[in-house]
Amino acid sequence: MARDRQDTAVPDGGTMVERLWAKDPTLWSVDEDKRDSIQKRLGWLAAPAWLGDHIGELRERVSKIQALNWQRVVLLGMGGSSLAPAVLAQIAATGSTGPRFEILDSTHPDTVRRATAHEDLANTLFLVSSKSGTTLEVMALWSYFDGLLRTDAAAANGPSRNFVAITDAGTPLEALARDRGFLDCFVNPPDVGGRFSALTYFGMVPAALLGFDLNQLLESAERQALSCQARATEKNNALLFGWRIGAYAAQGRNKLTLLLSPEIEPLGVWIEQLLAESTGKDGRGIIPIVNEPLQHLELYGKDRVFVAIVAKEDDALMARCGELESAGFPVLRSMTGDTKEIGGEFFRWEFATAVAGVALGINPFDEPDVQRSKDTTALFLEGKNVPGQTALTPCIREGGLSLVGEPMQFQGLAGVAEGLRHLFKTIRQGDYVAILAWLDENEALCSLLEGCRAHIGGALGVPVTLGFGPRYLHSTGQLHKGGSSAGVFLQFTAGGRADVAIPGHDYSFADLHSAQSDADLAVLSDLGRRAARVNLGEDPAQGLIEFVSILEGALST
């Protein structure tokens, strides 16, 4: 462990801290074209101060919204606009006495339909949250609920009162909110990127509606921001964490496994997006492993580094950290695993991610490969051929399942088990498997997918991640395409979906969901990634049960 710490020591941390707070873009790039765009996305450094200036006004505006006594609040968002609120909603759920708060960040028809299966639609407040104001999924969801409310007798006289927008200045969503008479429109600071926006309106409007003490969130963020100004590494935890996880990744320990105390566990998916989308580019990056099933120590490879956020008196997690350290694994610990410190955790990880970008020599504030999937989705919706489309060819059929991928990849193979075996034989030390689920995110399917994850990880001895589409496109999708070629991607799709129309569009939610999954697989294939799809048939639960049986056979030989 002494050697690990020496190899990842922060070089001249004081100067780095000064330059970062001075918003010096050359920390991340000397390219003149990139420096301007970087400077325009460093406003998160001032987010605690901004929140302090706006907290009174925010509280007053939210109070007016709450005075209408909504029975339910549904946030329509993706990626940076939905994951921080999702963290807050899960933390607040245990003690919440206010209206039900839900996150809708899916285009799967079953998921969309379930969000409408309530009798209280007229008494539901919808937060339409999009930085660009053009996010495809968010605007499709707004169109759908707007159409429903216009046919709802209770809301027919003023359906737009059910909507509040959160966006940037000058976006189409801001114009829509103004023209349609939304209940309110919160305009965010323009110099804060989506995944760095937890302490702006994108996170704080939901926090206020969820009943969080805004002063407590602010004070926690201010304390952490002050700590992040310390020049001495031993007094600047975020500097130390950021540099070490970046340096470890540069040395090959690029699988960052998060170990979180139960009360702070919801933070994991937010950290996953922040690290993956910020660092997964230029053929490198940090691969976050979140909610991983517990493994035997001998199954962890030399590509692992562990970060533990530990609550007080979590003896079990402390013991696990001790076991890992005794086995020679780097373990970075934080003893601030307290939900009262969630505002500070948001800022700390944003700062650490920026520092990790310095260590890796990348720009953590852009997402150059995310747009490729968006553009390819648009082409599929228009019915046009795209590069990588041959990856959508069914190659092997067995029972109710089919294996889909580049024809040459599975040529001459007899069954799904043999196809999987062929795919898994390409895995080497340092690789990881990503399960990409284009399915309804219900409890039964999640349990079956976690079973698949455990089987694969235990048998192959590599990290296995699990993400649901289209959410992961705005999170780990950048890493999958712009990071290293270490990923092996197993995509799941299914039929059997009753469709849902989108008012004002010539495609439905089933069309959109299919186009997004097709685009993702096509882009991965076009980039030369090892990727395959398993179509589970008309009954995804039964298909997954059948797949698990086949998987066990494939992994046992």
Q: Which uninterrupted H or E stretch holds 435?
A: strand 432-437
- Shared-domain flag, residues 436 and 316: no
pTM of the model: 0.95
For 464, list phi and psi in degrees, rounded to 5.
-130, 125
Residues present in the chain in total: 557
- Shared-domain flag, residues 77 and 144: yes
Max intra-chain CA distance, the chain:
69
- Shared-domain flag, residues 237 and 307: yes
- Shared-domain flag, residues 419 and 548: yes
Is 51 a member of any domain? yes
- Shared-domain flag, residues 262 and 146: no
- Shared-domain flag, residues 7 and 115: no
How would residue 313 be classed by pLDDT, with cut points 50, 70 and 90? confident
- Shared-domain flag, residues 458 and 501: yes
- The total of structural domains in the chain comes to 3
The lowest-confidence range among 153-157, 251-255, 304-308, 330-334 is 153-157
Instruction: Report the pLDDT value the prediction gives residue 385, as an integer from 0 to 100.
Output: 84
Is 233 a member of any domain? yes
Is 184 a member of any domain? yes
Instruction: Report the pLDDT value the prediction gives residue 96, as an integer from 0 to 100.
Output: 60
Last residue of a domain, one of 188, 212, 236: 212
The model's pLDDT over 260-286, given as tens digits with 9 standing for 90+, comes to 999 999 999 999 999 999 999 999 999
What CATH number should be reported for the domain holding residue 67?
Answer: 3.40.50.10490
- Shared-domain flag, residues 436 and 290: no
- Shared-domain flag, residues 114 and 62: yes
Q: Range of 70's domain?
A: 44-212
DSSP helix/strand/coil, 532 = strand
DSSP helix/strand/coil, 149 = helix
Is 412 a member of any domain? yes
Crossing angle between the packed helical segments 540-555 and 443-460, to the nearest 10 degrees:
10
Is 525 a member of any domain? yes
The lowest-confidence range among 208-217, 495-504, 541-550 is 495-504
Is 365 a member of any domain? no
- Shared-domain flag, residues 523 and 378: yes
- Examine residue 470 and say whether the peptide bond preceding it is cis (omega within 30 degrees of 0): yes
The model's pLDDT over 92-150, given as tens digits with 9 standing for 90+, comes to 976 566 789 999 999 999 999 999 887 678 899 999 999 999 999 999 999 999 999 98
How would residue 6 be classed by pLDDT, with cut points 50, 70 and 90? very low
